[in-house]
Amino acid sequence: MSMRLFIGAVGRMKNGPENALFKDYFDRCNKAGPKVGLGPMQLAETIETKNPHKRERQRLEALGLTKMPIKNSRIIVLDERGRNLPSVAFSDRLENWRDDGIPQASFLIGGPDGLEPSIVSDADLVLSFGAMTWPHMMARILLVEQLYRSISLLSGHPYHRA
Name which of 22-31, 49-58, 87-96, 99-108 the model is least confident about: 49-58
Dmax over Cα atoms in the chain, in whole Å? 48
- The values of phi and psi at residue 40, to 5°, are -70, 165
For residue range 89-108, list pLDDT tens digits in order.
999 999 999 999 999 999 99
Alpha carbon separation from 114 to 78, 118, 132, 139, 156 (Å, rounded): 8, 12, 14, 11, 35
**162, pLDDT greater than 90:** no
For residue range 127-158, list pLDDT tens digits in order.
999 988 888 889 999 999 999 999 999 999 88
Instruction: Say how many C-beta atoms besides its own lie within 10 A of residue 29's C-beta.
Output: 24
- The values of phi and psi at residue 30, to 5°, are -70, -25
Residue 114 is classified by DSSP as B
C-alpha of 99 from chain center:
19
How confident is the model at residue 129, as a pLDDT? 94
Average pLDDT over residues 73-87: 95
**124, pLDDT greater than 90:** yes
How confident is the model at residue 74, as a pLDDT? 98
| Runs of H (alpha helix) within 10-131 | 17-32, 54-66, 87-99, 117-122
How confident is the model at residue 50, as a pLDDT? 86
Cβ–Cβ under 8 Å, residues 40 and 141:
no
Alpha carbon separation from 123 to 8, 19, 118, 161 (Å, rounded): 13, 27, 9, 30
**112, pLDDT greater than 90:** no
Average pLDDT over residues 75-84: 95
Cβ–Cβ under 8 Å, residues 55 and 111:
no
pTM of the model: 0.94
How confident is the model at residue 95, as a pLDDT? 98
User: Shortest CA distance to 3 belongs to which of 34, 28, 44?
Assistant: 34
